[in-house]
């Protein structure tokens, strides 16, 4: 009886130990936070190149480690490519972001629409220089915008 009880507990322990989760990282972040801080603090071509290479290394290492690319990395890399004038390649990375994280669909569609629209000098996504004021949830449009 005692032997059966010991054997039972040993087999339960072995079963539970075999089902223990692996301490595998969910994402490959590498030195992302330091690189992002560096590019924000010192916005130079050198810091941008370093950050771009880091993003690409994160993507490659994630693929080789068989883990998902961290959220926003495809999009950030694509945005850098877009700013370099590589629109088609950027759109490919935007598509990868949308496929990997479907909840980003609206954001990615808006980003693509912004990138495809004729450029307005000194405007950024979300800027609307035709809106003067918002009252009671309705935008008051400037007279110049109404005449368009």
Q: Is residue 15 part of a domain?
A: no
Q: Is residue 34 part of a domain?
A: yes
pLDDT tens digits in sequence order for the chain, 148 residues long:
677 665 666 666 666 665 555 677 789 999 999 999 999 999 999 999 999 999 999 999 999 999 999 999 999 999 999 999 999 999 999 999 999 999 999 999 999 999 998 876 555 555 555 444 444 444 444 444 444 4
In terms of residue numbers, what domain contains 107? 25-116
Q: Is residue 8 part of a domain?
A: no
Q: Is residue 19 part of a domain?
A: no
Per the structure, the count of domains in the chain is: 1
Q: Is residue 103 part of a domain?
A: yes
DSSP character at residue 104: G
Q: Is residue 122 part of a domain?
A: no
Q: Is residue 137 part of a domain?
A: no
Q: What is the pLDDT of residue 131?
A: 43
Q: What is the CATH number of the domain that holds 78?
A: 1.25.40
């Amino acid at each position: 009886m005692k032997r059966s009880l010991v054997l039972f507990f040993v087999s339960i322990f072995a079963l539970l130990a075999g089902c223990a989760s692996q301490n595998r990282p969910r994402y490959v972040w590498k030195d992302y936070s330091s690189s992002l801080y560096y590019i924000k603090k010192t916005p130079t071509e050198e810091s941008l190149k370093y950050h771009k290479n880091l993003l690409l290394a994160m993507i490659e290492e994630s693929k080789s480690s068989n883990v998902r690319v961290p959220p926003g990395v495809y999009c950030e890399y694509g945005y850098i490519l877009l700013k370099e004038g590589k629109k088609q390649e950027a759109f490919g990375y935007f598509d990868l972001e949308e496929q990997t994280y479907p909840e980003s669909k609206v954001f990615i569609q808006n980003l693509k629409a912004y990138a495809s629209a004729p450029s307005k000098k000194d405007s950024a996504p979300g800027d609307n220089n035709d809106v003067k004021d918002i009252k009671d949830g309705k935008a008051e449009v400037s007279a110049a915008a109404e005449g368009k």
